């Protein structure tokens, strides 16, 4: 078994290779002046099982093409099987047509990855489970929120455990937050949020948010799958403080930071934000801490890949 890393999260791939004690495959990835990508596999992969690691974040469309080119090159060079480890899998938020005529892009991505030759897919905290229903290959979706929350509990101190409450920043994330809370034996609540499906703006900022569940006087852990612009967290953090929460922390699996960190760094309501290593960021402000999930990925692979 060998590991091939795409461009986006080479640190994750290297850490996984070290943890599993398997070699990395050398490869070249070049972008031509016209924007085309050229790839080359540098080692023999004949009859090998290859774990391909890529997080589809940042220049997501470029990295999607790079992914397809690398996997196709592996197939051309006689690979036995490609196991796709996509700690962050893009397009899962486009998992259904919200309005007539809209494309179901999660389905398109599933078709592409499957057609090119991924035979098993592993990911973390997929935005919507039905995004995986478009695959006919086996898929494994694991929540790493409990791993992030364990780290947070160490930070606040075990004696504060009885004051903790896990809060989903919108009603759609309630199940994800509840599952993580249940795993750690913590209570849960959620903030109501609505999005305008045309502008994707949060409507509740205009109409006022509401917390469902007991939070006053507690230490809240906002639990979510994605930080994109950061607006959801900022608004929920502000609202929780206004509702009488003593302290607010956040545990979010994927730090996309689509518009940088500005609004998260400027806000004062959330003390600290724990994110996973699913998306690589070389420089983060001190309020944002990355938690390694390599043990989780390694154990999924050890249990599911023979």
Q: How far is the CB of 279 from ligand R5P (least distance, A)?
A: 13
Q: Which is nearer to ligand R5P, 233 or 290 (CB)?
A: 233
Cα angle vertex 240, ends 235, 246, to 5°? 135
Q: Which is nearer to ligand R5P, 66 or 125 (CB)?
A: 125
- What the block records as the tokens of 54 is 């890529």
Contact by Cβ (8 Å): 53, 298: no
Q: How far is the CB of 228 from ligand R5P (least distance, A)?
A: 3
Q: How far is the CB of 84 from ligand R5P (least distance, A)?
A: 22
Cα distance between residue 226 and residue 235, in whole Å: 15
Helix (H, G, I), strand (E, B) or coil at 170: coil
Residue 275 pairs with which residues in a beta bridge? 252, 290
Cα distance between residue 245 and residue 288, in whole Å: 20
Is 247 annotated in the active site? no
Of the candidates 64, 106, 59, the one whose C-alpha atom is nearest the C-alpha of residue 84 is 64
In the block, which residue shows the tokens 């929460």? 245
Q: Which is nearer to ligand R5P, 119 or 231 (CB)?
A: 231
- C-alpha distances out from residue 153 to 8, 166, 230, 290, 291, Å: 30, 12, 23, 15, 13
Q: How far is the CB of 158 from ligand R5P (least distance, A)?
A: 29
Catalytic residue among 193, 204, 218, 247: 193
Q: Which is nearer to ligand R5P, 7 or 174 (CB)?
A: 174
Note the residues at the interface with ligand R5P (CB under 6 A): 169-170, 172-173, 224-232
Residues with catalytic roles: 193
């Amino acid at each position: 078994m060998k590991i091939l890393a795409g461009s986006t999260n080479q640190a994750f791939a290297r850490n996984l290779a070290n943890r599993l004690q398997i070699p990395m495959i050398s490869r070249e990835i070049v972008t031509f002046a016209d924007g085309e990508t050229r790839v080359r596999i540098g080692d023999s992969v004949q009859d090998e099982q290859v774990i391909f690691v890529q997080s589809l974040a940042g220049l997501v469309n470029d990295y999607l093409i790079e992914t397809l080119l690398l996997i196709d090159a592996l197939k051309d060079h006689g690979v036995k099987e490609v196991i796709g480890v996509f700690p962050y899998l893009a397009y899962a938020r486009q998992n259904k047509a919200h309005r007539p005529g809209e494309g179901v892009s999660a389905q398109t991505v599933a078709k592409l990855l499957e057609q090119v030759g991924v035979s098993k897919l592993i990911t973390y905290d997929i935005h919507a489970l039905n995004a995986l229903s478009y695959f006919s290959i086996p898929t494994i979706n694991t929540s790493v929120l409990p791993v992030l929350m364990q780290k947070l509990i160490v930070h606040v101190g075990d004696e504060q455990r009885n004051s903790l409450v896990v809060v989903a920043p919108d009603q759609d994330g309630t199940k994800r937050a509840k599952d993580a809370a249940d795993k750690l034996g913590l209570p849960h609540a959620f903030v109501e949020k609505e999005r305008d499906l045309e502008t994707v703006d949060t409507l509740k900022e205009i109409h006022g948010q509401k917390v469902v569940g007991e939070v006053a006087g507690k230490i809240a852990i906002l639990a979510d799958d994605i930080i994109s612009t950061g607006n959801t967290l900022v608004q929920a953090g502000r609202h929780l403080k206004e509702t009488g929460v003593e302290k607010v922390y956040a545990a979010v699996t994927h730090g996309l930071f689509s518009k940088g960190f500005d609004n998260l760094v400027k806000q004062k309501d959330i003390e600290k934000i724990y994110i996973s290593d699913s998306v690589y960021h070389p420089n983060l402000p001190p309020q944002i801490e990355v938690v390694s999930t390599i043990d989780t990925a390694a154990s999924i692979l050890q249990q599911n890949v023979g």
